[in-house]
Structure 1
Amino acid sequence: MMKLTRRNLLQSTIVAGVAASSVSTATTVSAANDSNVQSLPEGAVILFQGDSITDARRDRKKQTANQSAGLGDGYPFLIAGGLLESHPAKRLQIHNRGISGNKVPDLAKRWQADCLDLKPNILSILVGVNDIWHKLNGRYDGSVAVYESGYRELIEGTLSALPDVRVVVCEPFVLRCGAVNDKWFPEFDQRREAALRVADSMSLTVVPFQQMFDKAIDEAPPAYWAADGVHPTLAGHTLMAKTWRETVGI
């Protein structure tokens, strides 16, 4: 039996205090997140938009909300599962309309049917990597300015048509491995910064995916999170889902 001393008692008190503080913080965050979800109307629509990172091999024939196959196997699926399990009474309607290979102009062409007609309460957009990847492959010639102006017009039109929608801009990201080499820079960072400027100018929520992965590579190499530097692994998608929910607050 450990002898109870003043030092042991002090250490025990400190440990207990830290534990209590951690529980209190977690409870506060959980309560805030729950409050944010409860503020959504029953049957609220959450829509994920973007390219292959969002698409994540979804079955495009499965268009009904909350269908596992229709949500793919990436971060939208993981987020949807968590929200549906945590808030069954809200009857949330969660859709994934990401399409592999899409750039900003591709989103614009299908925006009416794949966004506006769904009338989302929360709209999450992740787009930008193909706008440079296809340019490097000689399949597209859009500049950074074209990306920024097109992205801005897309969101401004959305807010005009759906003034109550909450738009979430996901920071474009790459990891330096696989297909991503020095040729991607500095233009990729310029495009990433353009997306952030668009979001900042309209006071939109930004999910800091590049910052998240920059920190994550301190724990494991880039390929652990995205083997080709662009498409996340299971670990990468899970980290994205966690960060998305923490940032959006639901």
Structure 2
Amino acid sequence: MGNYSRKIFLAGFAVLLSLGTAVRTVAQQISPFKDGDRVVFLGNSITDGGHYHAYIWLYYLTRFPEMKLKMFNVGIGGDRVVDMLRRLDGDVFSKQPTVLITTFGMNDSGYFEYNGDQPEVFANAKVKESYDGYKEMEKRYKGLVDTRLVLLGSTPYDENVVIKDNKPFKNKNKAMKRIVDFQRESAKSNGWEFYDFNQPISAINANFQQKDPTFTISGSDRVHPDNNGHMVMAYLFLKAQGFAGQGVATVGIDATKQRVIEAKNCGVENVKKAGNNLSFDYLAAALPYPMDTVARGWGAKYSQHDAVNIVPFMEEMNQEILQVKGLKGNYTLWIDDQEIGVWSAADLDKGINLANQTRTPQYQQALKVMFLNEERWEIERRFRDLAWVQYNFFLPKGLLNADNRKAIEVMDQHVATDGWLRAKRDLYAKAMYPEVRAAWQNQIDDLQQRMNEVNQPIKRSVRLVQLKK
């Protein structure tokens, strides 16, 4: 890497270091991740089958391309804190986390009995069960060395949204908030970090439901956020880390004087004006954040991109500004050999957000990172399904990680009556072999390496060509 590129990347890391100071001075809830961190997200089905952690990683991959992180999905569907306890050593601590992020409460608080005869008795019992289990988890966490602990209050159960043929469990979320309360107190007493998803997402739901009673971030079952909901979660998490107001890059140019007014988190060279046209070289220290427009997952209705209609992620965290003063007329913007669009001199004087322009070479580059990350997520999900089988089925039978003929014979005795087990039978028939698991892990490792290669910003040639009248 040349001196020019090195200076730009060092500028990017200076921004990150300043964020660490900001976290302390404005009491942000979660410190930013550091180079080399191994971030483990422990949770239930919302973590297991969800994308919020992948969306958070994508932010770091595009915003801090020289930073080498690893993030791990360690969720299992249906888990309560007492279930997580059983797999701490084999499934969680084995990932050697430098940051361990834990969320629970949706399953801990129970379901159907809230509409029964003694809902308050049931709620008290479930909250106590969760609290007692958590105190055991807390003891284990206190023994961890060189691991930063973050507790996350669960996303809410939305009992207010209008969903056809779905009767809500009354006051379930009230019990969930009691679980959030003891998480908060534990974090405070232990000097750990804490952030509550429940309150801000409940507030967003209530605000939008004033106009649309069917709106919810909590998904079509009141429990599981859709892709847009997971992007809202990622946005809230990143905001808690202090990233609001931190853009991709800002370029400001005075075309009349052919000079750079501003170059934030980027380098700008060779500003030239030929007639009414302008050109320059541009190297940012980051990439724009790409937004997936596909509704991914079984039963999904919304894409990641749909979150921009809910939270101001683009305005607060995804600004790649090009501002050019001293022009007249209308201009076609070219980056490398790609025509991006046409803007007036007035638009350029105010500044345009290139992160909104999916045709830019840098956005297309960021899309490669997004798709590699999505492929990594898909393969990692196989390991989560395997973990479900191991800890929910084999562990109670004394066959945890047996992975032998007896194990699959025992499995086959139950698949006819257990639909969840039946759905994972084929996967286990493959994953029981260490060679298959090693091949999957090699794929993940290769995808991670490629993400850290593809995300390196490239110097771009920018041209503004005046349109003829």
**TM-score past 0.5 threshold:** yes
| Pairing 1:72-221 to 2, within 5 Å after superposition | 73-133=50-110, 136=113, 143-160=126-143, 162-172=144-154, 173-176=156-159, 177=161, 178=166, 180-184=168-172, 186-221=174-209
Tell me the distance in 2 between the aligned counterparts of 1:182 and 1:30: 46
**Aligned in 2, Cα 1:107/1:179: closer, same or farther, shift over 3 Å?**
farther
Tell me the distance in 1 between the aligned counterparts of 2:76 and 2:57: 18
Choose between structure 1 and 2: higher strand proportion.
2
Tell me the distance in 1 between the aligned counterparts of 2:112 and 2:190: 28
Stretch deviating more after TM superposition (240-249 or 45-54): 240-249
Determine if the alignment matches structure 1 residue 246 to structure 2 residue 234. no
Tell me the distance in 1 between the aligned counterparts of 2:56 and 2:113: 32
Q: After superposition, what is the alpha-carbon deviation per residue over 1:25-54, rounded to whole angstroms, capped at 9, x for unaligned?
A: xx989940599657x3x4320011100111
Q: Which residue of the partner structure matches residue 60 of structure 1? A: none
Tell me the distance in 1 between the aligned counterparts of 2:112 and 2:140: 26
3-state SS, counterpart of residue 216 of structure 2: helix
3-state SS, counterpart of residue 167 of structure 1: strand
Of residues 218, 231, 239, the one that matches 1:226 is: 218
TM superposition shift of 1:102: 0.3
**Aligned in 2, Cα 1:112/1:121: closer, same or farther, shift over 3 Å?**
same
Structure 1 length as normaliser, TM-score? Answer: 0.70
TM superposition shift of 1:249: 4.4
3-state SS, counterpart of residue 232 of structure 2: helix
Are the counterparts in 1 of residues 111 and 169 from structure 2 also a CA contact under 8 Å?
no
Gaps of 5+ in 2: 1-13, 23-30, 117-121, 244-469
Q: What is the number of residues matched between the two proteins? A: 204
Stretch deviating more after TM superposition (169-178 or 208-217): 169-178
3-state SS, counterpart of residue 163 of structure 1: coil
Tell me the distance in 1 between the aligned counterparts of 2:151 and 2:167: 24
**Aligned in 2, Cα 1:29/1:136: closer, same or farther, shift over 3 Å?**
farther
Question: For residue 175 of structure 1, what is the amino acid of its counterpart?
Answer: D
| Pairing 1:24-39 to 2, within 5 Å after superposition | 31-32=18-19, 37=32
Gaps of 5+ in 1: 1-26, 57-72
Tell me the distance in 2 between the aligned counterparts of 1:206 and 1:179: 32
Q: After superposition, what is the alpha-carbon deviation per residue over 1:185-223, rounded to whole angstroms, capped at 9, x for unaligned?
A: 643332232222222222322222111112212442374
Question: For residue 201 of structure 2, what is the amino acid of its counterpart?
Answer: F
Q: Which residue of the partner structure matches residue 230 of structure 2? A: 237
3-state SS, counterpart of residue 188 of structure 1: helix
**Aligned in 2, Cα 1:34/1:135: closer, same or farther, shift over 3 Å?**
farther
> Identity of paired residues, percent?
23
**Aligned in 2, Cα 1:154/1:189: closer, same or farther, shift over 3 Å?**
same
**Aligned in 2, Cα 1:33/1:75: closer, same or farther, shift over 3 Å?**
farther
Question: For residue 132 of structure 2, what is the amino acid of its counterpart?
Answer: S
Are the counterparts in 1 of residues 99 and 148 from structure 2 also a CA contact under 8 Å?
yes
Are the counterparts in 2 of residues 207 and 248 from structure 1 also a CA contact under 8 Å?
no
Question: For residue 246 of structure 1, what is the amino acid of its counterpart?
Answer: K
Q: After superposition, what is the alpha-carbon deviation per residue over 1:137-166, rounded to whole angstroms, capped at 9, x for unaligned?
A: 99x996322211321321331231x22211
Which structure would you say has the larger Rg?
Answer: 2
**Aligned in 2, Cα 1:185/1:44: closer, same or farther, shift over 3 Å?**
closer
**Aligned in 2, Cα 1:242/1:183: closer, same or farther, shift over 3 Å?**
closer
Are the counterparts in 2 of residues 144 and 194 from structure 1 also a CA contact under 8 Å?
no
Are the counterparts in 2 of residues 44 and 90 from structure 1 also a CA contact under 8 Å?
no
Choose between structure 1 and 2: higher helix proportion.
1
Tell me the distance in 1 between the aligned counterparts of 2:82 and 2:216: 31
